């Protein structure tokens, strides 16, 4: 009886501006008082470095979960390796991307492997472990399923890539 009205909600990917806002003013829309927000704000644009926010947005494809996963991993690594450092070095962000693959492995498996219901769908996705782009799937059902799941974007004429480059990292590591 609890699940009678359950509905699937489509959560759109973040725009670059929304990723920037989340990473620089995470409490902007919070119900906290302004002075409490200011006291709680730990991260500013400078922390993320020259293009750290842009890199996080690009690697996550703007998917909210992956933006948060990468950012949380980066902050954890910064706290462990360089406590008190005010800027995240690009090398540490690269380590955070690699560590995010491990930390998010269940989500990657669920999104890429477990939700494959159409014959040939997993085989198509698995090829991204060996190549960054590939021609779109020939099978109409595979194409429809991947479009519904919003996993692909067109890279160039006739060539497609995974929407979330972090997913490709996971595929290269696991498969």
Q: Give CA–CA dist 5/64, Å, rounded.
A: 25
71: nearest Cα among 33, 42, 32, 39: 42
Strand partners, 135: 159
Kindly state the tokens that stand for 6. Answer: 């359950």
Could you report the per-residue pLDDT of 105-164, keeping only the tens digit for each? Answer: 999 999 999 999 999 999 999 999 999 999 999 999 999 999 999 999 999 988 999 999
pLDDT at 44: 72
What's the half-sphere exposure (Cβ side, CA atoms, 13 Å) at 27?
14
Q: Give CA–CA dist 116/122, Å, rounded.
A: 6
SS3 state of residue 18: helix
Q: Are 124 and 133 in contact (CB under 8 A)?
A: no
Kindly state the tokens that stand for 26. Answer: 């995470």
Q: Kindly report the length of the chain.
A: 175
Could you report the per-residue pLDDT of 5-47, keeping only the tens digit for each? Answer: 778 788 899 999 999 999 988 877 788 888 777 766 656 778 9
Name residues whose C-beta falls within 8 Å of residue 58's C-beta, 6 or more positions apart in sequence.
Answer: 165
pLDDT at 39: 65
pLDDT at 82: 74
Kindly state the tokens that stand for 20. Answer: 């920037």
């Amino acid at each position: 009886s609890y699940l009678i009205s359950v509905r699937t909600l489509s959560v759109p990917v973040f725009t670059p501006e929304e990723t920037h806002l989340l990473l620089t003013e995470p409490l902007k829309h919070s119900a906290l008082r302004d002075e409490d927000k200011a006291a709680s704000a730990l991260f500013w644009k400078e922390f993320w470095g020259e293009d750290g926010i842009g890199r996080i947005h690009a690697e996550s494809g703007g998917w909210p979960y992956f933006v948060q996963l990468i950012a949380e991993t980066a902050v954890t690594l910064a706290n462990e390796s360089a406590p008190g450092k005010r800027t995240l070095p690009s090398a540490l962000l690269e380590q955070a991307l690699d560590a995010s693959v491990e930390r998010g492995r269940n989500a990657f498996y669920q999104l890429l492997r477990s939700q494959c219901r159409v014959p040939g769908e997993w085989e198509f996705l698995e090829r991204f472990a060996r190549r960054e782009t590939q021609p779109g799937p020939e099978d109409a059902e595979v194409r429809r399923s991947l479009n519904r799941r919003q996993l692909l974007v067109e890279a160039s004429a006739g060539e497609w890539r995974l929407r979330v480059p972090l997913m490709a990292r996971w595929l290269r590591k696991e498969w």
